[in-house]
């Protein structure tokens, strides 16, 4: 008999994370974690990203203890302050003005939890992004074309947002998009779900 493929769940409603995880070619389901993302008093952006990644994974794992659950969160940091999703045009303009000509840290954390196996681990992958000096006309043109209002920092580096940047520094090229696949793959291997082993497989016995 073939060993059953581990049941994998992505604890996220983000289409960007879903598309990234699909690159590993492992079957998975998507479940909303319904997690309160309000920062705690005095919580640093890096700490916030790690806490929320683990909270999302645990929230879904509690409902599916036999499944391997992936949770992830990203928090941008400029001048020591967290920069979240703008949601509206005016906030996106303000964010890009603030980041113009600056180096911004994007903290992307990924957690993998398998409650039945007693496995719970989180890794944070930092990314340094240097924005070029942006004129207001550049900002307005970009936002009008791409409308990245669901992205922390108001820019999609995987598409036209790359034109706003001078440099990206990271050990994982997918971390800035929202799910660091190198770290995710390592955590999945440790949890017993090696992507190379299970890629393309069907769930079940």
Give the CATH number of the domain where residue 106 resides: 3.90.950.10
**Annotated catalytic, 138?**
no
Residue 2 counted as domain residue: no
How far apart CA 57 and CA 33 sit, in angstroms, is: 7
Residue 205 counted as domain residue: no
Residue 125 counted as domain residue: yes
Query: Out of 73, 79, 116, 194, which one is annotated catalytic?
Result: 73
**pLDDT, tens digit, for every residue of 136-146?**
999 999 999 99
Q: Phi and psi (nearest 5°) for 51?
A: -65, -45
Place of tokens 């008999």: 1
* Mean pLDDT calculated for residue range 104-117: 97
Pairing of strands 119-131, 165-169: antiparallel
Count up the domains in the chain and report the number.
1
Whole domain around residue 148: which residue ranges? Answer: 8-198
Residue 3 counted as domain residue: no
Residue 30 counted as domain residue: yes
pTM of the shown model: 0.90
Q: Which two tokens stand for residue 79?
A: 């001048």
Residue 120, pLDDT above cutoff 80? yes
pLDDT band at 205 (very low <50, low <70, confident <90, very high): very low
């Amino acid at each position: 008999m073939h060993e059953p493929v581990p049941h994998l769940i992505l604890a996220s409603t983000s289409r960007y994370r879903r598309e990234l995880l699909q690159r590993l070619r492992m079957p998975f389901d998507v479940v909303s974690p319904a997690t309160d993302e309000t920062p705690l008093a005095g919580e640093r952006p890096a700490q916030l990203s790690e806490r929320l990644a683990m909270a999302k994974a645990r929230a879904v794992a509690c409902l599916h203890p036999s499944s391997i659950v992936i949770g992830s969160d990203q928090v941008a940091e400029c001048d020591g302050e967290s920069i979240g999703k703008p949601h509206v045009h005016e906030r996106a303009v303000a964010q890009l003005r603030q980041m113009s000509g600056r180096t911004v840290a994007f903290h992307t954390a990924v957690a993998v939890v398998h409650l039945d196996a007693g496995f719970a681990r989180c890794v944070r992958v930092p990314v340094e992004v240097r924005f070029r000096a942006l004129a207001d006309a550049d900002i307005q043109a970009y936002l009008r074309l791409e409308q990245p209002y669901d992205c922390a920092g108001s820019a999609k580096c995987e598409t036209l947002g790359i034109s706003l940047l001078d440099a990206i520094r990271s050990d994982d090229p997918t971390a800035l998009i929202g799910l660091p696949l190198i770290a995710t793959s390592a955590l999945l291997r440790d949890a017993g779900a090696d992507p190379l082993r299970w890629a393309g497989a069907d769930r079940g016995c």
